[in-house]
């Protein structure tokens, strides 16, 4: 998830956003390069979104499905899921490379990217656009909500039963490590998936309204700009959430920062 989110920031923010604004006449604005950057950005975004779905489903299985947990929650399964999600995200976003035409010609060099006129009139492109909207992010939005509700319901019920049993056996309420772990799990789960839902809502509602009203994409729309901004922001939050909620993640992050510093100190002393 962290790698996918970083790729979104690199392709969608650095290359596409900052590069287009501050370097309008550069290698990045040549049409084939622009197409590639946009396609990579969409691919990275789709991968990040479906990794969030996979993470939510993984937590659902680990918490709610104890019999399936031993078979599904393994390193081998995780590697297979990561590989399949990454491969499918690449394949499903390849057609976006052929959607754009040059925006203008400068010194016989095509520059910029704009949607082809046939994108709005061709039935094939209309089906592809609708399919893309369903696959990302409408379906992930629904799946994350569903898995969150089921997981939260299971945790609440199981916690109530456990609290009642401990109360009967001990006669008083002691601090329960298992309850603390469940509380941390549900905080992490709802922090990642909840931030995804909130930050993607504007983007989803905007494009659904386009389909309902049969309107065309308006690149000057403030709502669209806000939706894209929040969408990109959603790819920057997971690392922060991990750093805040996970002790092991904070320790590994500190070790990663200390390692090059210790190496520099050792070299200076020698």
* pLDDT 10s digits, 93-127: 999 999 999 988 888 889 988 888 888 888 998 88
Dihedrals phi, psi of 113, to nearest 5 degrees: -140, 125
Instruction: Evaluate whether residue 110 is within a structural domain.
Output: yes
Question: Contact 112/24 with Cβ under 8 angstroms?
Answer: no
| Tokens describing residue 261 | 């510093």
Which residues, at least 6 apart from 54, have a Cβ–Cβ distance to it below 8 Å? Answer: 81, 82, 85
CB contact burial 62-84 (16+ within 10 A = b; e otherwise): ebbeeeeeeeeeeeeeeeebbee
Question: Residue 114 forms beta bridges with which residues?
Answer: 101
User: Position of tokens 């409408």?
Assistant: 138
Domain with 212, as residue range(s), is: 2-246
pLDDT of residue 144: 84
Confidence of residue 251 (pLDDT cuts 50, 70, 90): confident
Instruction: Evaluate whether residue 260 is within a structural domain.
Output: no
Instruction: Evaluate whether residue 146 is within a structural domain.
Output: yes
Instruction: Evaluate whether residue 254 is within a structural domain.
Output: no
Mean pLDDT of 159-167: 66
pLDDT of residue 170: 53
CATH code assigned at 12: 1.20.1070.10
| Tokens describing residue 81 | 């899921």
d(CA 208, CA 225): 15
Mean pLDDT of the chain: 80
pLDDT of residue 49: 86
- Closest Cα to residue 64, out of 247, 189, 193? 189
| Tokens describing residue 180 | 């603390």
d(CA 25, CA 226): 25
Instruction: Evaluate whether residue 265 is within a structural domain.
Output: no
Domain count, the chain: 1
Question: Contact 37/8 with Cβ under 8 angstroms?
Answer: no
Tell me if residue 214 falls in helix, strand or coil.
coil
Instruction: Evaluate whether residue 9 is within a structural domain.
Output: yes
Which residues, at least 6 apart from 63, have a Cβ–Cβ distance to it below 8 Å? Answer: 151, 154, 155, 182, 185
Q: What percent of the chain has pLDDT over 90?
A: 13
- In total, the chain counts a number of residues equal to 270
Which residues, at least 6 apart from 156, have a Cβ–Cβ distance to it below 8 Å? Answer: none
Instruction: Evaluate whether residue 6 is within a structural domain.
Output: yes
- Closest Cα to residue 246, out of 55, 4, 81, 66? 55
A 10 A CB-CB count for 22 gives 8
d(CA 44, CA 139): 17
pLDDT of residue 229: 79
Instruction: Evaluate whether residue 255 is within a structural domain.
Output: no
A 10 A CB-CB count for 16 gives 19
Q: What percent of the chain has pLDDT over 70?
A: 81
Which residues, at least 6 apart from 73, have a Cβ–Cβ distance to it below 8 Å? Answer: 58, 61, 62
């Amino acid at each position: 998830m962290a790698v996918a989110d970083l790729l979104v920031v690199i392709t969608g923010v650095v290359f596409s956003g900052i590069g287009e604004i501050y370097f309008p006449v550069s290698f990045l604005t040549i049409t084939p390069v622009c197409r590639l950057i946009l396609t990579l950005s969409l691919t990275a975004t789709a991968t990040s979104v479906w990794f969030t779905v996979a993470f939510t489903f993984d937590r659902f299985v680990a918490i709610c499905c104890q019999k399936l947990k031993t078979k599904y929650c393994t390193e081998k399964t995780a590697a297979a899921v990561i590989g399949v999600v990454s491969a499918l995200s690449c394949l499903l976003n390849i057609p976006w490379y052929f959607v754009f035409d040059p925006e203008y010609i400068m010194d016989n060099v095509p520059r910029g990217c704009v949607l082809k006129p046939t994108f709005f009139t061709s039935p094939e492109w209309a089906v592809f656009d609708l399919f893309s909207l369903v696959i990302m992010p409408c379906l992930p939005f629904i799946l994350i909500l569903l898995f969150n509700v089921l997981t939260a319901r299971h945790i609440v019920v199981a916690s109530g039963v456990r609290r009642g049993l401990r109360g009967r056996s001990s006669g008083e309420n002691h601090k329960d490590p298992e309850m603390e772990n469940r509380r941390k799990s549900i905080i992490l789960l709802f922090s990642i998936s909840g931030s995804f839902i909130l930050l993607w809502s504007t983007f989803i509602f905007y494009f659904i309204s386009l389909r309902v009203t049969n309107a065309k994409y308006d690149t000057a729309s403030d709502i669209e700009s806000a939706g894209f901004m929040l969408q990109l922001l959603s790819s920057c939050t997971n690392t922060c959430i991990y750093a805040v909620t996970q002790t092991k993640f904070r320790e590994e992050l500190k070790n990663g920062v200390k390692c090059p510093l210790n190496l520099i100190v050792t070299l200076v002393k020698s």
